[in-house]
Structure 1
Amino acid sequence: MVVTERLRARARQVLEKDEREPVPSPCQSICSMDAKEGLCLGCLRTLQEIAQWSQASPQDKRQVWQKIQSRLES
């Protein structure tokens, strides 16, 4: 799936960057929640992760990206 591959590549890029770099949002403008998994189909974040993104520290944002990467692997 193109969306998954794009998200995988973005996760790799974000996590390889220097920790002082700004952390981009994983949003891909495909905002639809999977009711069973509780994850957005576009970015693989939970509703809580999405809601807290704008207030999250760079470290917390990188942790979300790590979770996304783990979700892609499972």
Structure 2
Amino acid sequence: MTKPASAGCVTAATNSWVKCWRALPWSNPVPTLSLKSSDAAGETIVSPCRRQCCLDDQDICLGCGRTLQDILDWSKADQPRQRAICTAAEARLQQRNQVP
């Protein structure tokens, strides 16, 4: 079982305990945030955050698929690192959706 974050609560979801921050009723579905950064080529990388922040027992967000460390590193990460975070997060979400 995980401990709740100081601003959140603990909720049972998909047969495991997860750490969740305020889940607002008007937050479903929520578009991706507009935290953007541009590289020299003008490419914009948008944060994968969906404002559905709930961490499972492995500290992976159920909303966007990023690890807690990925979330903390996002604002300081360069473009290649942000792309890697997005790719890994998407793979985690797809893997979670395939589990029966």
Same fold (TM over 0.5): yes
Shorter-chain TM-score: what band?
A: 0.5 to 0.7
Aligned to 1:51: 72
- Over residues 8-42 of structure 1, what are the superposed CA-to-partner deviations in whole Å (9 max), with x where a residue is unaligned? xxxxxxxxxxx74111000000111112x321111
Q: Which runs of 5+ in 1 are unaligned?
A: 8-18
Which is richer in strand? 2
Q: When the two structures are superposed, what TM-score results if normalisation uses the length of structure 1? A: 0.66
Identity in percent: 36
Question: Of the two, which has the highest radius of gyration?
Answer: 2
CA shift for structure 1 position 71: 1.4
Q: When the two structures are superposed, what TM-score results if normalisation uses the length of structure 2? A: 0.50
Q: Does 1:25 align with 2:47?
A: yes
Structure 1 residue ranges (4+ consecutive) displaced by more than 3 angstroms after TM superposition = none
CA distance in 1, matches of 2:60, 2:82: 16
Question: What is the aligned-residue RMSD (CA, Å)?
Answer: 2.3
When the two structures are aligned, how many residues end up with a matched partner? 59
CA distance in 2, matches of 1:22, 1:53: 14
Structure number with higher relative contact order (C-alpha < 8 Å, ≥ 6 residues apart):
1
